[in-house]
Amino acid sequence: MKVSYHGHSVVKIETNDFTILIDPFLTGNPQTDLKPDEVKADAILLTHGHGDHVGDTVAIAKQNNALVVATAELAALLGWQGVKTHSMHIGGLREFDFGMVKLTQAFHGSAYIDEQTKTITYTGMPAGILFTAEGKTIYHAGDTALFSDMKLLGSRHSIDVAFLPIGDNFTMGPEDAALAAQWLGAKVVVPMHYNTFPPIQQDPHHFVEMLQGSVGKVLQPGEAIEL
């Protein structure tokens, strides 16, 4: 399995047979190396409905006939736009042909915000994602604050790679994320959701230096970990 990072919260997982994208925010993302019209995906997993996470989901899903997995409200909204979806919710687990998906809680918001019409559409609860395939488990925390049930996630799941937000302001900052990494017990921890916009400027190398018990890796857009 190959797991690559593509700026902000964009993660790509390549198994022997499938390619899975998480939170494909590409258009308008100054950190990414991917182009929406060139991306291949069999499935797209979404953590929540904010624009910097849903991103180019509709276009990518349609051009690849990809399945979009999201919380029920967000899946319904995307389904109305002609996308093939599967709805889930917090705590639910589902085995697909491309791997097993379990949604975990996350402490954040989730809505589609239309600046032109000044409307906000609720898109369900935010989530984190546990993805398991080929004997490996990836945890994508989504946008979240630190919460003590991360200890439970760590005790119940053997996590090979955890992607944790460190940007602060909207999510955990580096100190809280370092504690989250300790509670999760992940073998490898990769920082995400930082330096895309001015309010979330952070030094990812400083975050890695704070880690205890996990190997920290700062991945540049396009860099990957082989599992």
**CB count in 10 Å sphere of residue 198:** 7
Q: Are strands 19-22 and 224-226 parallel, antiparallel or unpaired?
A: unpaired
Are 46 and 131 spatial neighbours (Cβ–Cβ below 8 Å)? Answer: no
User: What whole-number distance in Å separates Cα of residue 222 and Cα of residue 227?
Assistant: 16
> What is the pLDDT, as a whole number, of residue 152?
97
DSSP states of 41-62? -SEEE-S---HHHHTTHHHHHH
Please report where in the chains the tokens 């400027």 appear, as a residue. Answer: 201
User: What whole-number distance in Å separates Cα of residue 16 and Cα of residue 120?
Assistant: 40
Q: Which domains does the chain have, with CATH numbers?
A: 2-218 (3.60.15.10)
User: What whole-number distance in Å separates Cα of residue 18 and Cα of residue 80?
Assistant: 25
Q: What is the dihedral of CA 187, 144, 153, 184, to 10 degrees?
A: 30
User: What whole-number distance in Å separates Cα of residue 217 and Cα of residue 224?
Assistant: 10
Bridge-partner residues for 70, per DSSP?
87
Bridge-partner residues for 44, per DSSP?
21, 68
> What is the pLDDT, as a whole number, of residue 213?
87
Would you give per-residue pLDDT tens digits along the chain (227 residues)? 999 999 999 999 999 999 999 999 999 999 999 999 999 999 999 999 999 999 999 999 999 999 999 999 999 999 999 999 999 999 999 999 999 999 999 999 999 999 999 999 999 999 999 999 999 999 999 999 999 999 999 999 999 999 999 999 999 999 999 999 999 999 999 999 999 999 999 999 999 999 998 999 999 999 999 99
Taken in order 185, 179, 197, 201, the sign of the CA dihedral is: negative
Are 26 and 54 spatial neighbours (Cβ–Cβ below 8 Å)? Answer: no
